[in-house]
Structure formats: C-alpha cells, structure tokens
Amino acid sequence: MLGAFANSIKATLLSASAKLKTAEAGYEAQLLLQHVLNVNRAWLIAHENDALQPNIHAAFEALLNRRLAGEPMAYILGSREFFGLDLLVTPDTLIPRPDTETLVEAALAKILNNTNLSILDLGTGTGAIALAIAKNCPQVSITAVDASNAALEVAKKNAQNLNIHNVEFVLSNWFNNLSNQRFDVIVSNPPYIEENDDHLTQGDLRFEPISALASGADGLDDIRQIIENCLVYLKPQGWLMMEHGYNQADQVADLMAQSGLNNIETIQDLGGNNRVTISKNPLIVSTHWD
C-alpha cells in the first residue's frame, strides 16, 4: 500500500537522515525513532516496512526538528552511556564525554585493590565519574560535589537508578562546603575552555551549561583554584587527578609542581590528546587535621 510505504519506518528514517546531514545522520535518526517507539535497534531494523501511526510520526518529527535546531542528542534522548553506565542527562549537566573515561581509568588504576579508600569528585555534574568509580569499586566511599543543585539532583537520580550507595552528594563550590576531611584520591573534570573560545558557540557546547565549560581567559581559573587548595584535602601520599584541555598539560603540570605535588604524569585519551594529569601529595605525615 503506497500510503503505508510513505510512512514506513524505512522511508521515515531515510528522509530524516537526508535532512540531518550530521556525520552520524542515519544512526541519529534511528536513535530518535527508537526513543519514540521505545524499541531497540534490532526491532527497528526487523520492522522497517511497518507503517508508523500518525501520532508516532508526529512525535518523531518533533524530536527531529529539535535535532535539526542543533540540540545535542543526549538532551533530546535524556540519557548518555558513560563507562558502561546509562546516565540521565539534562541541560543542567555537561554531557559526559568518552575523553573523561580516561580519568576514570586513571583513578581505578590507583585504587586497584585498596579497599576503604575515600574519593572526592569535584564538579560531578551527572555523577558520571563518581558513579563509574563507585560501580567498579563498591568498597570505596565517594563524596561528589557540585555547585549546581539542579545537577546534583540529576546525579542523585543516576545513583538511585544504578543502585549505587557508596556516593554521598554535597552542594559545594569546589572545596568550599566540605568539612575538614582528607581524601585518598581527588578527581575532577572542571570547566577548562577559554571563555572566548569559538567552540562555545558551536555544536553541542551551545546547549550545555557555560559554568561547566568555560573558565576565565585562559580556561585555567578553576583548575588553578583546585590545585592551589587541594593539599588541605588530600591525605599524605594521596593523588590529585585532573582532566584538562588538549593543550593545557604543561600548564597544569606546572601548577601542580608549584603547589608542591610530585609524581606528575600526563595521560592521553583515546584520541591521542593529553587529557589527564595526575600528581601526588608528597607528605608522609599530615600537618593538618586527622
């Protein structure tokens, strides 16, 4: 039947991907239709000649129009996979990136079989880093802070959905609201883009919270603040692990050295970019509380 074919799943996807013109147009069109139909990809492919009901077609067109207006897939779908976890994502949170999985791996490598470690995640957003560590190390206790209450609500929901109980969420602008506690590992993916960077007005970044992306003229304002204050919150021999821009490794390493941290090492992401720099609190005996 001609009418049915015009509205078939296959025809709908073809027409949508022709309009989208993104690198992953066909895949994105499938994801949007899967979302409307609440089906997986295998189902969609097996039913490509089925006709779509008008209300389903209209719902799909509405999502397609949002994507055509540039809205990120993660905000339209309301979720994003990170380190094997399905995370809720809203415009109050940065969209978790594969680059950040490098930071999680670096933290897991240090945590290894050490039980009962305490971890601090600064600027947790969706909770991605904290929850990925927590899921893989149920024995550690994690404190995850964010300056945005709305982001923390998303992170808490993610913890609930994933049945993760070893993360405590705290409203705090970096260390400001933390009590006098020291951690074995501090991880952070802070904002690190230069405030005048053209990328902020392009692609997904246009839709993401600017407070999670940009950080002063050189992009290092928040990184500086974290590194300058971290020693008071790091246990002796504890690790600080920071994600940063592809061209910021040297500056981050210098800042760490200036603060007295040692064992400084930069790690590349899967794209081969310098992405994470780690360093250690050289103190063997604590000079502050505990």
Interacting span for ligand GLN (CB under 6 A) from 16-24, 34-42, 135-143, 190-198: 190-198
Q: Name the minimum Å distance from CB 275 to ligand GLN.
A: 8
CA–CA dist 70, 68 (Å, integer): 5
Q: Which of 202, 204, 150, 149 shows the shortest CA–CA distance to 171?
A: 149
Residue 99 binds to ligand GLN (criterion: CB under 6 A): yes
Stretch that binds ligand GLN, among 159-167, 171-179, 191-199, 256-264 (CB under 6 A): 191-199
13 versus 190: smaller Cβ distance to ligand GLN = 190
Between residues 64 and 155, which has the closer beta carbon with respect to ligand GLN?
Answer: 155
Measured in residues, the chain has a length of: 290
b/e map 188-227, b = 16+ CB within 10 Å: bbbbbbbeeeeebeeebbeebbebbbbbbeebbbbbbbbb
Tell the smallest beta-carbon distance from residue 261 to ligand GLN (Å): 20
User: Which residues does residue 146 pair with via DSSP β-bridges, in sequence order?
Assistant: 171
> Per-residue string for binding with ligand GLN, 78-97, x by CB under 6 A?
-------------------x
- Residue position matching structure tokens 């952070």: 188
Distance between CA atoms of 13 and 29, rounded to whole angstroms?
Answer: 6
Q: Considering the complex, what minimum distance in angstroms separates the CB of residue 8 from ligand GLN?
A: 37
Query: From the CB of 203, what's the least distance to ligand GLN, in Å?
Result: 8
Of 199-258, binders to ligand GLN (CB under 6 A) are 205, 213
Shortest distance, position 198 Cβ to ligand GLN, whole Å? 12
Smallest distance, Å, CB 216 to ligand GLN? 12
Give whole-number Cα distances, 281 to 166, 169, 224, 278, in Å.
Answer: 24, 24, 16, 10
Q: Is 72 in the site for ligand GLN (CB under 6 A)?
A: no
Residue 136: CB atoms within 10 A of its CB come to 16
Spatial distance between the Cα atoms of 53 and 61, rounded to a whole number of angstroms: 12
Query: In the set 73, 191, 226, 235, which binds ligand GLN (CB under 6 A)?
Result: 191
Binding region for ligand GLN (CB under 6 A): 97, 99, 189, 191-193, 205, 213
